[in-house]
A and B are shown apart, each in its own frame.
Chain A
Amino acid sequence: MPRDEEIVNNNTESEQQVNVVQTKSDNQKFLLKERFEIDFQRPLSWLDNNGAKAFAVTDRIDTSRRLFALICCSETSPRLSILPYLKSMENSSLMKLVEYGVVTFIPESAQKLALVYEEPLGGKVFDNGVCALSIKNAPDKFRSLALSFMGVVDAFKSMNITHRAIRTDNLYFKDLNKSEIVIGDCAAAFPAFFQPPAFEAIESLYADKIARGNGTDKNDVYSAAVTLACLVLGHDLFPNQSAPELLRQKIKKGSLALINSVEKIPAAFNNALKGMLCDTPSLRWNYSQLFSFFEGKQVSYGPTSAFERPKRALNINGEKVYMPLDVVYMLHSNIDEAYDLILSGKISDWAKNGLENENLATKIDMIVRQEKNSAGNKNLTVSRVAILIAPLLPIRFRDMTFFPDGIAKAAFVALKEKKVLKPFIEIFDSDIIKLWYQEQEHLRSPGNITEFRVYIVRTEIGYGIERIIYDFDNDLPCISPLFNDEIVIGAPQVLRALNAAFKKENISLPPYDRTIIAFLRCKLGKKIDNILSDLHSQREENRAAGILHLYTMLQNKFGPADLPNLVLWLVNFAKPLIRIYHNKKYQRYLEKELLKSNSGKLYEIVNLLENEQALEKDRSDYAEVLNEANYLSLEKNKIENNSAKLDEDARASALKLVSFLSIFVMTASFAYNLISWVLH
């Protein structure tokens, strides 16, 4: 699993490649990247694969080229992270991915991912389960096919990816002469989601098909081996058997023995298939071992059965079980009894005496001790012990069986279908995924696995299960309900999808949700952490500023230049941001100006709302006005509350005045009369 930064870089590159520059053409045609014209009126149903529908494509530059497009289904999701690798891959035994991009699937008026492949001219190798090619008597052809299939597996391995869709109905004749066989698409759906049970190894078959995960090259080797066996026998294997039934038989007999029990594979091919179908993944052959074998060199085989029978049995639910796989199955089927058995130490005894594995017994004892010291969770305890007993198997918790690299996809589907997410939260809040990786010999735990608990505990936007899904799995598109039918496979598509999906009745909703923010955090990395803290704020204006900055940054970086609907949406959402200005007149001015902004450019809104000079002036004016208002209020209070005293004071002053006046009048009268008397 690449590191966070690498993921972001890879995604950015792939997203730039995905750069959807399509033009809706007339009728039922869609032009992808101004070159590939997908004609939805010309379905090629024989090429439908992995849940995707096939349609004819015309290359406008090279019209003689025969191409077709697979329109990915919405049941799962395309494997986005492997698309750039597939496009760059040149392998004569692999169907060539020419281009990919988001298109408007006109029959359903929905946005879908289209994968444009070179059309195989010779048709399908298997038609209705019957092979059009006979190699039973052609060991050379077998050898050539085996090496070409293993070459494809090896090419995928060299890029640290897997195919997970090698099966009979995904084989095509490349040319009209039917001399070359190519393996078809592997990116239109979740890995191994459409694989029939016969083509999956025991450990993969044990998992829910939605959560089989990317697996390893060993899974591809197994599928290639079963495909070769089908080619040799000339028909499909176990087409009507259910997965649990086939799983039980594979565990019981071993994969090759099971095939041979149905129809004997000629000895000329049996040894090669024996190496490739080994039920112990680490001992399964790779390309060089197969090549050595064909060169006549001595190559060792793994055991024919997955597990050797232990000496002692374990009694669960009245049944005696010997094999670790059976024990694990029975433990999960009887959780209460399994929990009691674990706590009583019987499982530990069986590991010590039956499996003769002291190390395993010690680990189980440790779990028992931890469990006794804390109020435990039965399901978790049983899952932990099951991981220790059979580390190759997927994790089983409650009703789910999953490989850790498939859990994000299962959670994605649950989120998309609005199912209960509690089991996923319990899983991510526990240490079982970490424990599973610790028990693997050839797999390394992803670096971000320790952060799952932190993400789950934090309830803020940008964290939670959505964050884990996108942090753990780069294949998954963003599935926000705000996008409607728009497909968003990377950060550059977010704004475009929001702009396209905007409806006037949604204007009161925020133009973001938990899924979008978690998706963007995973795609853009730590640089938007400060925006996340704005979005966590209780203040509306902080949230508005946060989302405005985030979307402006996206538009500046990825475009598109014109987002009229999103601008309208953000103008409405950014209204609280106007309140950072105190002056009402200026607020009204901003409102008017915002309503006028129809250029579709988000930075204009930011510039208008966050004008430094205007903000500074507003702040200083506000401080002055606040002082004035305080002074006036105090004056008013003083007058109103002291009216009685003022009245008294006024009267006292008036009396003083009259007193002075009377004395003056008396003195004046005296002086006047005295002067008059003297003059007389």
Chain B
Amino acid sequence: MKNKNAKEYNMSSKLGQSFRKLNLFQKSLLVIFLILISIISFPIVLILIFGLLPTLTILFIDKKNYDKQLIVGCFNIAGVFFYLFGLLNKFRLGEQNDIADNIFMIIVMLGSAALGLLLYNELPNLYAYVYKLFAVRKIDKINARLAKLKEDWGEEIVPHHNSAEKN
């Protein structure tokens, strides 16, 4: 995990270094390009910024929890896709206002992220609980069988090398 982080840190620092290596013209050209792109696809950028707000938040506040980023991010994007593809057919400036107005779409985008977060938080607990439940049932079955063996063959049939010794 540490290596991974270090790698990404190196990558970002490399990007930063690359950006710094550019001359002023190149930097200006890049910024202008990006602004232009943003203006041209403003509704999409706006939707992405607005729709992916939960994912961006997690990216900022929980930088090293990649599982959480992945799960919440994937669910969030899945929700955003519903609106993003719909936008492609009626792409024009001012469309973003409709998005802001469509509360259902906001619920879908943010709700999908919430579902991802919920699954991330609760499914492992549920899974561990179920796993434990199975283990307890298995121990009960073993105990029942051992008790039967003891009854039929005496106490000495069960070896005493287990938890008692550890305790």
Q: Chain A 627-653, CB within 8 Å of chain B: the 1/0 string?
A: 011101101110111010011011111
List 3 A-B pairs, minimum CB-CB distance, nearest first: A654-B127, A662-B74, A669-B78
Chain A residue at smallest Cβ distance from B135: A639
**A670-B78 contact, Cβ under 8 Å, with A639-B138, A657-B123:** yes
Q: Which chain B residues lie closer than 8 Å to A435 at the CB level?
A: none
Q: Which of B78, B112, B116, B132 has the most CB of A within 10 A?
A: B78
Q: Is A668 in the interface zone, CB < 8 Å from B?
A: yes
**A670-B81 contact, Cβ under 8 Å, with A584-B154, A625-B153, A647-B131:** yes
Q: Is A665 in the interface zone, CB < 8 Å from B?
A: yes
**A582-B149 contact, Cβ under 8 Å, with A657-B123, A677-B85:** no
Q: Is A530 in the interface zone, CB < 8 Å from B?
A: no
Contact A668 B163 (CB under 8 A): no
Q: Is A659 in the interface zone, CB < 8 Å from B?
A: yes
Q: Which chain B residues lie closer than 8 Å to A63 at the CB level?
A: none
Q: Which chain B residues lie closer than 8 Å to A636 at the CB level?
A: 139, 142-143, 146, 162
Contact B124 A650 (CB under 8 A): yes
Tell me the complex Cα distance, A274–B132, Å. 112
B interface residues, Cβ below 8 angstroms from A: 67, 70-75, 77-79, 81-82, 84-86, 88-89, 112, 116, 119-120, 123-128, 130-132, 135, 138-139, 142-143, 145-146, 149, 151-154, 157-159, 161-163, 166
Taking a contact as CB atoms closer than 8 A, the residue among A628, A640, A659, A662 that contacts B149 in the complex is A628
- Output the least CB separation between B130 and chain A (Å): 8
Chain B residue at smallest Cβ distance from A631: B142
Give the number of residues in A that approach B within 8 Å (Cβ atoms).
45
Q: Is A658 in the interface zone, CB < 8 Å from B?
A: yes
Taking a contact as CB atoms closer than 8 A, the residue among A628, A632, A654, A674 that contacts B85 in the complex is A674
Chain B residue at smallest Cβ distance from A652: B124
Tell me the complex Cα distance, A624–B16, Å. 70
Show 29 A/B contacts (Cβ-Cβ < 8 Å), sorted by A.
A582-B153, A584-B152, A585-B152, A622-B153, A629-B158, A630-B159, A632-B145, A636-B162, A637-B161, A637-B163, A639-B135, A639-B138, A647-B131, A651-B127, A651-B128, A653-B127, A655-B123, A657-B127, A658-B119, A658-B123, A658-B124, A659-B67, A662-B78, A663-B70, A670-B78, A672-B81, A676-B85, A677-B85, A677-B86
Tell me the complex Cα distance, A672–B158, Å. 59
Taking a contact as CB atoms closer than 8 A, the residue among B88, B124, B166 that contacts A677 in the complex is B88
Taking a contact as CB atoms closer than 8 A, the residue among B73, B86, B143, B151 that contacts A584 in the complex is B151
**A665-B159 contact, Cβ under 8 Å, with A643-B135, A647-B128, A673-B84:** no
Q: Which chain B residues lie closer than 8 Å to A632 at the CB level?
A: 142, 145-146
Contact A633 B162 (CB under 8 A): yes
Contact B127 A635 (CB under 8 A): no
Q: Is A680 in the interface zone, CB < 8 Å from B?
A: yes
Tell me the complex Cα distance, A665–B149, Å. 50
Contact B77 A666 (CB under 8 A): yes
- Output the least CB separation between B112 and chain A (Å): 8
